[in-house]
Amino acid sequence: MTDQPFTLPPGSEFDLQDFSPAFTGILRDGDEARDRMKDNLEHLTDLQEMLYAQGKHALLIVLQGMDTSGKDGTIKHVMGAFNPQGVQVSPFKVPTEEELAHDFLWRVHKVTPGRGMIGIFNRSHYEDVLVVRVLKLAPENVWRRRYEHINAFERLLADNGVTIVKFFLHISPGEQAQRFRKRQKKPSKQWKFSPGDLEMRKLWDEYMAAFEDALTKCNTDYAPRYVIPADRKWFRNFVVSDILVRTMESMSLRYPDPVPDIESYVIPD
């Protein structure tokens, strides 16, 4: 499907210039991806049912990206295949006073998924090495130590049966500008637009440097990072669904054994 990788081996250095946000591989448009996407979503539905029934594993999906990269859209169009009773979506906004009174992972750990469940992070613990770094909300000697803390935290989760998959939705500045303009004009989207978003655009290079460091320093065998081209929504959704299918297939999911001699039970009319 591709000559462009979506991830690199642990220890490799990510350079986002090597990843085109507009990349679509051999697929020319959404029509070519539609049938494959449909199959993936149906398979995700089945895999989640086995995850829930088995009750031995959990899945944590982490979504990061610049504004308009499609975190909400990915949750709607890909994770919508999951049964809501087995999913918890957790957005991470500006920390509350209570959260700031604890270590930076406190608010994150308490919403990680239990066995049989899927957790989806819309933004995540990586905010503390991204926005905190770019806006200088903490000294460098504080946020630099957090890469090690994050890796240890994710190792703890993995050791306790949580499969972690992390997506960076990679959008170009030009595509982001177009999506901001659509938000300005569409009444149902205007609530999502903030003048502060334009201030963040001025710091684009700083954010890309911060994302590259997070991708490089926190890409492990037990919590891999994927760079997803996000300029074309249909391709973004297809690739995320494809990676999730392969990830869940690797989890050795199966339905629990039925009760012994299940067919011997007589079920009255």
Residue type, 121: F
| pLDDT tens digits along 184-229 | 999 999 998 888 889 899 999 999 999 999 999 999 999 999 999 9
User: To 5 degrees, how large is the angle CA 190–CA 192–CA 195?
Assistant: 85
What rounded mean pLDDT belongs to the chain? 95
SS3 118: strand
The C-alpha atoms of residue 235 and residue 28 are separated, in whole angstroms, by 9
Kindly list the domain boundaries of the chain, sorted by start residue: 16-251
Check whether 1 has a pLDDT greater than 60. no
* Closest to 145 measured CA to CA, from 205, 217, 60: 217
What whole-number distance in Å separates Cα of residue 127 and Cα of residue 155?
19
16-251 topology per CATH: Rossmann fold (3.40.50)
The owner of tokens 């710091």 is 203
Q: What pLDDT was estimated at residue 70?
A: 97
75 in Cβ contact with 122 (< 8 Å): yes
Q: What is the pLDDT of residues 113-127, one digit of tens each?
A: 999 999 999 999 999
- DSSP calls for 166-197: EEEEE--HHHHHHHHHHHHH-TTTGGG--HHH
Sheet strands side by side (includes 58-65): 87-91, 118-122, 58-65, 162-170, 225-229
Residue found under tokens 């009760």: 259
pLDDT at residue 172 in the model? 98
What pLDDT is attached to residue 202? Answer: 95
Q: With bands split at pLDDT 50, 70 and 90, how would you rate the model's confidence at 28?
A: confident
pLDDT digits (tens, 9 = 90+) for 219-255: 999 999 999 999 999 999 999 999 999 999 999 999 9
Type of residue numbered 159: D
**pLDDT given at position 32:** 86
CA 35/CA 145 separation, integer angstroms: 45
| Three-state DSSP state, 148 | helix
